[in-house]
Amino acid sequence: MGLESNSKLVEVLGEKGRVSLNDWKEAQWAAIKIRREPITEEELYREASDFMSLFQQAVKEAFLSDIRDPVWLKMREMLSALSISRARRGFTPTEMATFVLSFKQPLFEALKQAHGTDSGALLSDVWMTTVLLDKLGLYCVEEYQKTREAIISRQQKDLLELSTPVVQLWPGVLTLPLIGTLDSERTQLVMERLLQKIVDTGSQIAIIDITGVPTVDTLVAQHLMKTIAAAHLMGAECFLSGISPQIAQTVVHLGVKFGDIVTKATLADAFGLALKRIGLVVIKKSGE
């Protein structure tokens, strides 16, 4: 889409143009300062003048309302980087979009002055720029959203890592204290990590402690069984500790066969047995 022949858009954005960058910056700063966000006045001014000069360039080159056009590439890159940094700093989507949309006010003001009484031409320019700025604003929100989603999925992964640490209790003895509800996918992931850690540390014994697990279903019980079987194939032994009375009843009710698996009431009991298996004894110092 091109500009009308009597458009004054390029003119008002030009070097001798009438768009007041300062007014726009001031307005933005005033809006943001209230929230005392971690952004400096200089930063905001720089971003605003970057936006304005990229906008000028793109409009001068070819006024296109399709922001996917290569003319807008630099603008998209700049807005994308801006959205990512603002999403990380906890700005809201509204604040992100306002950065772009608020540019309308100084721009329209300048256009109004430039066109004087020619309301037809003014309307045409205003409409064109509105469409364009709305698209840029939405683009910002989309980029913002993408960043937030990436942050959430990373946090979920971190949480999984944090909630299931494999800990070395003693050289050759690992423990995996499981906490919270186990779903099939999480169990599978955790088990793979346990087996890898067995190899990495050369541990003969791994204790899976399920004290913090309120309930297990058939699938999770089967995953536990498979892990124990897989560890056995690798040459390590798994003990299961901390089985609650409820889980014991569920397991029997579900008909899952725990067979030859070593189970202990507490992690301490399992650790005691593990030490015995690797040939260690704990002796109380005499006279103390």
Residue 208 beta carbon to other proteins: minimum distance, rounded to whole angstroms: 15
Residue 62 CB neighbour total at 10 angstroms? 13
Residue 252 beta carbon to other proteins: minimum distance, rounded to whole angstroms: 23
Residue 173 beta carbon to other proteins: minimum distance, rounded to whole angstroms: 13
Measured from the CB atom, is 18 or 193 closer to other proteins?
Answer: 193
Residue 180 beta carbon to other proteins: minimum distance, rounded to whole angstroms: 23
Measured from the CB atom, is 123 or 150 closer to other proteins?
Answer: 150
Question: Cα–chain-centroid distance for residue 155?
Answer: 6
Measured from the CB atom, is 38 or 259 closer to other proteins?
Answer: 259
Residue 230 CB neighbour total at 10 angstroms? 16
Residue 150, token pair as written in the block? 């990436």
262-264 vs 167-170, strand pairing mode: unpaired
Measured from the CB atom, is 102 or 201 closer to other proteins?
Answer: 201
Q: Which residue has the tokens 């423990």?
A: 175
Instruction: Give the Cα separation of 127 and 9 in Å (integer).
Output: 11
Task: List, in sequence order, every residue forming a beta bridge with 49; answer none if it has no partner.
Answer: none
Residue 198 beta carbon to other proteins: minimum distance, rounded to whole angstroms: 7
Residue 246, token pair as written in the block? 């409820």
Q: Are 176 and 194 in contact (CB under 8 A)?
A: yes
| Site of interaction with other proteins (CB under 8 A) | 191-192, 195-196, 198-199, 202-204, 226, 229-236
Residue 25 beta carbon to other proteins: minimum distance, rounded to whole angstroms: 41
Q: Among residues 17, 1, 28, 15, which one has the least CA distance to residue 103? A: 28
Question: Cα–chain-centroid distance for residue 101?
Answer: 26
Residue 43, token pair as written in the block? 């930063």
Residue 216, token pair as written in the block? 């297990």
Residue 207 beta carbon to other proteins: minimum distance, rounded to whole angstroms: 16
Report the half-sphere exposure of 117 (CA within 13 A, side-chain side).
0
Q: Which residues contact 114 (CB under 8 A, 6 or more apart)?
A: 8, 11, 12, 18
Measured from the CB atom, is 2 or 202 closer to other proteins?
Answer: 202
Measured from the CB atom, is 167 or 229 closer to other proteins?
Answer: 229
Measured from the CB atom, is 136 or 194 closer to other proteins?
Answer: 194
Residue 193, token pair as written in the block? 């990590």
Measured from the CB atom, is 63 or 239 closer to other proteins?
Answer: 239
Three-state DSSP at 26 gives helix
Residue 259 beta carbon to other proteins: minimum distance, rounded to whole angstroms: 11
Q: How many residues does the chain have?
A: 288
Cα Rg, the chain, nearest whole Å: 32
